[in-house]
Structure 1
Amino acid sequence: MERLAAVRRDLAENGPPRIPADGPDFATVTLPERDCDQVRDLLVEEGAGTVVEIGLAYASSALAIGEALLRAGSRSPRHVVIDPFQHTAYDGVGWELMERAGLEGIAELVTEPSQRFLPRLAGAGFTADAAFVDGGHHFHNVFVDLHFLSEIVRPGGIVVLDDLWWPSVGTAVAYFETNLGWDPMPDALVDGTVDPATGRPRTGAYRLPDPRPAPSFKEFRPFF
Structure 2
Amino acid sequence: MAAVRRGLAEQGPPRRPDGAPAFATVTLPDRDCDQVRDLLVHEAVGTVVEIGLAYAGSALAIGEALVRSGAPNPRHVVIDPFQYTAYDGVGWELLCSAGLDGIAELVTEPSQRFLARLADAGFAADAAFVDGSHHFHNVFVDLHFLGEIVRPGGVVLLDDVCWPSVGAAVAYFETHLGWRPIPGAVAGGTSDPASGRPRTGAYRLPDPRPTPDFRDFRPFC
TM-score (norm 2): 0.99
Which runs of structure 2 are paired with 1:6-155 in the superposition (5 Å)? 6-155=3-152
Q: Give the equivalent residue in structure 2 for 1:159.
A: 156
Q: 1: distance between equivalents of 2:194 and 2:214?
A: 37
Residue type at the aligned position of 1:164: V
Supply the RMSD in Å over aligned alpha carbons: 0.6
Deviation of the 1:71 alpha carbon: 0.3
Distance 2:182 2:43 in 1: 13
The share of aligned pairs that are identical, in percent, is 79
1:181 pairs, out of 178, 182, 191, with: 178
Instruction: Please report how far the alpha carbon of residue 22 of structure 1 lies from its aligned counterpart in structure 2 after TM superposition.
Output: 1.1
Q: Shift in Å at residue 221 of structure 1?
A: 1.3
Tell me the TM-score normalized by structure 1: 0.98
Q: Which residue type is aligned with residue 81 of structure 1?
A: V
**What is the rounded CA distance, in whole Å, between the counterparts of 2:87 and 2:117 in structure 1?**
25
For 2:192 and 2:93, locate their aligned partners in 1 and report how far apart those are by CA, in whole Å. Answer: 31
Q: Deviations over 1:10-50 (max 9, x none)?
A: 10110000000111100000000000000000000000000
Structure 1 runs of 4+ with >4 Å offset:
none
The letter of the residue matching 1:175 is Y
What displacement does 1:215 show?
1.0
The residue identity in structure 1 corresponding to 2:19 is: D
Q: CA deviation at 1:186?
A: 3.5
Aligned residues: 221
Partner deviation per Cα, 1:173-217 (whole Å, 9 max, x = no partner): 000000000011131010110012321000000000000111111
Q: Secondary structure at the match of 2:187?
A: coil
Q: Is the 8 A contact 1:186 1:204 kept in 2?
A: no
Whole-Å separation in 2 of the counterparts to 1:168 and 1:132? 17
Q: Secondary structure at the match of 1:169?
A: helix
Select the residue among 196, 207, 221 that pairs with 2:193: 196
Amino acid at match of 1:159: V
SS of the residue corresponding to residue 19 of structure 2 reads: coil
